[in-house]
Structure formats: C-alpha cells, structure tokens
Structure 1
Amino acid sequence: MRAKAALLVALLVLGPLPAVAQSEQMDEAIDISRMLLNPPEGVDLAYGAFQRGYYLTALRLAERRAGQGDAVAQTLIAEIYANGLGVAQDIPRAISWYNQADQNGDVQATFQLALIYQSGTGVTQNRQRAARLFQKAAEAGHAAAKYNMGLLHVEGEFAEPNLVRAAQLIGEAAEAGLPEAQYDFAVMLLEGAGVAPDTERALELLALSASEGLADAQVEYATLLYMGALGERDATAAAGWYARAAEQGNPVGQARYAMMLAAGEGVPADIETAAMYRDLARRQGLSDSNLDNVIRGADPDVRARGEERARYWPGVPPSQEPAPTAPTSEEDDTLDQPLPDMLDTLPPEISEMMGGED
C-alpha cells in the first residue's frame, strides 16, 4: 500500500524543481491526499479535486462515473476539455460530453451547450439551437439560462419579441442573485420597460449588483446617488462607486472619478490621479472636454506624473516601485516534513484508479 501512496504523490509532484516550487507542490500533494483519503461528508471527490485546481485527478475520478451514465461527472469532464484545464483544449470532445450529460438530465450541461452554440466556439454558430437549449435550461430553473432567454426576448430575433416576458425572466434571474440580471432588471424598472416602474427596487438591485463587482452597475448606482435618487445627493458615496468601476478599467467610471478628483468633490482633490484616470479613459475612446480643460490647467509636473502612472497602469512606474528587500538566509524546511500517515491507506476507488495491487 505504501507503493500506491508513493505513486499518488509522484503523479502530483513533478520534479526536478526549485526548492520553493517543490515545497508548494508537496503542499498540494498533501492537500489532495487529505481530500481523497478523508473527504468531508457529502463531498464529491471529483468535484472537490476540480475546485482545488487538481484537474487531472478530477478527470480520472470522473471518468469511471461518467462511463456509467453519471450526468454530473460527464459535465465535469466536458468542463475540463472545454477550458483546457490540465489537458489540451478540445471543444468537439467537450461538446460530446455535454451532449451526453444533457441527454442524462444535467441542466448545467444544457446551458453550457447553449453558450457554445450561441458564440460559435469550436462549432458552427447556431443561435436558433442555442435559443432552444436556453429555453430548456430556463424551464428547468437555471437562473443564467433565464437571463439569456430574457435577452433573446428583448432582441426578438431568435425568440418572440416580448418585453413583458423578458422582464419576467430577467427578474427571476435577478432574484436568484445573478449580478448581470440584477443590473439589467434594475434598468428595466427605472425605465418601466416590460414592468411597472419601481425606482426603490431598482436602487436595491443596483446596490446588490454593484457590490458583486459589476462595473456597469457601479457606474449607474454612483450616478443615481450623485443625482440624489435616495433623497439627498451623496457625492461621497458616488465617488466611492465611481472609483471601484475605474479600478476595474471601466472608461465611464474612470472619466467621472477623474472629474471628482480634479474638483475635490466627494473625495480629496488629487490632480495627479485625476490625470491618470483621464488618460486611461481617453485610451478607450472616452473624452470629456470639461475634464480636459481642468487637467490642462494643472501643474505640468503633477500632470506628467499622472500620465506616467497611466502608461504603467495597473502596475506602477519604475520610479515609484519600492526598493527590493534583501534576501534572507533562512532555508525553507518544509521539504523535510513527513507525509501524513493517512497516505498508508488509500480507499478502494483511489487504489483502483492508481493501478491495482502492489
């Protein structure tokens, strides 16, 4: 049995590598061993390995179950091949597995197939087939499928043009917590498109979507806060949300945050950072003549520093990099740590996967 444990570690630790890399991979080997040998109750071993990034292990664990018709395992294999995780990307092979999983009732496989045909990734684009698959997954309760089906109703080409139905589906996806749906449904509520106007609920959904990191929602929410949609104009909160969007590279957020920085409105004045974000927004095709005039009148040295930061964003210019720290003489002794005793006892399914008897 010790030989099987050694083989398991050998598959996970590839050498020769530098000491730090060896230590990291040894940690991974121990982590996966613990997960395989003593999984928490109810944890799917293949999915657990996948979540930890041990894709080849996940693939081996899923293959046997997939051959027995396990739809979830089939979808997991399809995900690995579709994204080239630990293996060469193979879209046709992924589609084959997704099809099997779809036929066996896995709604996630149905949705992924719809995305593939919608985009034409690795296959001839077929948006009509994608619409049928989105509809199937939506009827099974898949939130993202409902959202995409709602968008198709808005578009009106591969589904019936119907704003009311679109609002219903997008609203259901929003209630399920999908940030993109929360943002789009909030806009529909603000405009009364397919649904009765409800500014209060729209603001709630925008706040949720913005908190989840959706830059468009952050910009929209900031704008409404700045305009006083909650009763009082809140420039400080608006600047904070514009800043989040700007940090994500959203050009509207960058331009508006730059203006607030330049004016010192809702945030301490900072011409240098304003110049940086102004340049970043302009690179994406968004210019603001008022902002340009403010930056143009700034101290040339301050403006130049901001423009230099823009050239290196999201990093920092060499002139602003911290001085390197002196290397320590301490040696990493993690490689001397013994493997856990539990490697002595592999469960039957892992033993069989690793190649039979000693």
Structure 2
Amino acid sequence: MSAPLDKSNPVSIRSSNVSAASALGDAYYNGSGVPQDYSTAAIWYSLAASHDDLVSEYHLAVMYSAGLGVQRNNSKAFYWFNKAAHSGNVAAELAIAEAYANGEGVGQDQKKASYWYKKAADSGNVTAQTKIALRYADGIGIKKNQHIAKQYFHEAASKGDPVAELNLGNFFQKGVAVHENAAQAVFWWMQSAKQGNSEAQNALA
C-alpha cells in the first residue's frame, strides 16, 4: 500500500504518490473540491512532473507559458513541453513546433519546427496538419512539395479547419497538385467562409 499523500506538505511526495499529486494539481487548477489556486496547482504539477508524470509535464508547461500561478517563463515552458513531447503528448508536440517556429523559449529553428509539426500532424492534430501543409506549400523548414501539402490540407479541411479549407480551395482554383476545378474551389471557400474566414469570403465576392 502506498504512503498517504500529505496535502499540507507537498515536498513529502513519493514516487507512489505521483498520480495523487497530479490529481491535486488538477483539483487546484480547476477549483474542483478546493478553492481554485493556480500557485498551489503549479506546486503539485511540478512535483508530479519531476517524477515524469506526462500530464503534469504538459500542464506545468502551459502554466509557465501563460504565467498562471508562476512567473511567465518561455524557457521553462519549452523545457516541460519538450519533455512531454518526447513522451508522446501530441499537444506538446504542437507546442514545441510553435516554439521552434517563433523562437520562444528556444532558438528559432524552422527545420525542427517542421519536424514537430509533422509529428503532431501524423498523430491527427488538425492544427498541426494545416501548419505542416503550409510549410510544404512554401518550403519552410522542409522540402517544398505541393502534393504533400494538398494531402495535409485535405485532411485538415475534412475536419473543418477554416485555413485548410481556404488553401484547399486555392489549390483547386489554381490547379495546384490537383486538376483545376472551380466548383471544388467554391465549395471549400464556402466551408471556410461560413466560419468567418475573411480571405475565403473575399474569394467568393
């Protein structure tokens, strides 16, 4: 039987209490059963994350990124996003792709950004699918390939991403990696425009 977790003394955590510490982090973060307290949530997440708890690593990274309960620190956010990403957390994969793309908390590196966007995209993340499609289309951090770009745009557009819908419409309108098809262009622009995308709305005007 694991030792009981002393809620009044976070530093008393043992490896067997990691799940409980993560759960307490959730409780304080969401105000579930206890008053919402981001600072206390960060303490519990930090303790669980230090024992390689994947969910806590991600939540702690989000808190450092947003400055919730801790002083905002992009370097620490990247550290924890990176740990979570290397353990297979798809949201963290997207986060470090963004960090490399924008040079936040780490040196800007477009090749690494594309690597992580693709990894998250291949795990089904729709935002990453659109991002890597744009990179294949323009050759940013990865070899330009309009056919692969079209595949990712189509996958993301099929899930309702308005930017992917816009770009897929553009591909059909220009005949890029597909046969030129005005009807398909209008169809995808309409899907994007319905979600408020101004470029798609202008394309239909």
TM over 0.5: yes
Please provide the CA RMSD for this pair: 2.5
Alpha-carbon distance change, 248 to 129 in structure 1, aligned in 2, over 3 angstroms = same
What is residue 123 of structure 1 aligned with on the other side? Answer: 70
- The verdict on how the C-alpha distance between 1:91 and 1:247 changes in structure 2, with shifts beyond 3 A counting, is farther
Amino acid at match of 2:175: G
Distance 1:70 1:207, change over 3 A: farther
Q: 2:133 aligns with which of 186, 191, 199?
A: 186
SS of match in other structure, 2:48: helix
Give the direction of change, closer, same or farther, for the CA distance of 1:75–1:255 in structure 2 (3 Å limit): farther
Between 180-189 and 237-246, the greater mean CA deviation after superposition: 237-246
Q: Is the counterpart of residue 232 in structure 1 residue 179 in structure 2?
A: yes
1:215 correspondence with 2:162? yes
Larger radius of gyration: 1
CA–CA distance in 2 between the matches of 1:86 and 1:224?
51
TM-score (normalised: structure 1): 0.49
> Is 1:97 aligned to residue 44 of structure 2?
yes
Deviation at residue 117 of structure 1 after TM alignment: 0.7
The Cα of 1:110 is off from its aligned counterpart by: 0.5
CA distance in 2, matches of 1:162, 1:133: 18
Structure-1 residue corresponding to 2:119? 172
Deviation at 1:125, TM superposition (A): 0.9
Q: Measured at CA, do residues 230 and 129 of structure 1 come closer, stay the same or move farther in structure 2, by a change above 3 Å? A: same
Unaligned runs of at least 5 residues, structure 2: 1-12
Identity across the alignment (%): 27
Does the aligned pair in 2 maintain the 1:69–1:104 contact within 8 Å? no
Count of residue pairs brought into register by the alignment: 193
Q: How far 1:189 moved relative to its partner?
A: 0.9
Equivalences for 1:1-358 in 2 at 5 Å?
69-84=16-31, 88-257=35-204, 259=205
Distance 1:71 1:202, change over 3 A: farther
Deviation at 1:84, TM superposition (A): 4.2
Please say if residues 58 and 80 of structure 2, whose CA atoms lie closer than 8 Å, have aligned partners that are also in contact.
yes
CA distance in 2, matches of 1:77, 1:193: 42
Return the offset for 1:68. Answer: 8.4
Shift of 1:88: 4.8
Change (3 A) 1:221 1:99: same
Q: Any conservation in 1 of the 2:137–2:149 contact (CA below 8 Å)? A: yes
1:256 counterpart letter in structure 2:
A
The two structures have a TM-score, normalised by structure 2, of 0.80
* Offset of residue 126 of structure 1: 0.8
Separation in structure 1 between the aligned mates of residue 154 and residue 20 of structure 2, nearest angstrom: 36
Q: In 2 relative to 1, CA 231–139 (structure 1 residues): closer, same or farther, beyond 3 Å? A: closer
Paired amino acid for 2:194:
E
- Conserved in 1, the CA contact under 8 Å of 2:42 and 2:69? no
**1:81/1:246 CA distance change after superposition, 3 Å:** farther
Residue 205 of structure 1: SS of its match in structure 2?
helix
Bigger relative CO (Cα 8 Å, ≥ 6 apart)? 1
Q: Which secondary structure state, in structure 1, belongs to the residue aligned with residue 72 of structure 2?
A: coil
Aligned partner of residue 196 in structure 2, secondary structure: coil
AA at the equivalent of 2:171: L
Please list the CA deviations of residues 44-91 of structure 1 after superposition, one character each: whole Å capped at 9, or x if unmatched: xxxxxxxxxxxxxxxxxxxxxx99845445434433432445765332
Give 1:92 shift: 1.9
8 A contact 2:136–2:149 mirrored in 1 = yes
1:226 and 1:86 map into 2 onto residues whose CA distance is: 54
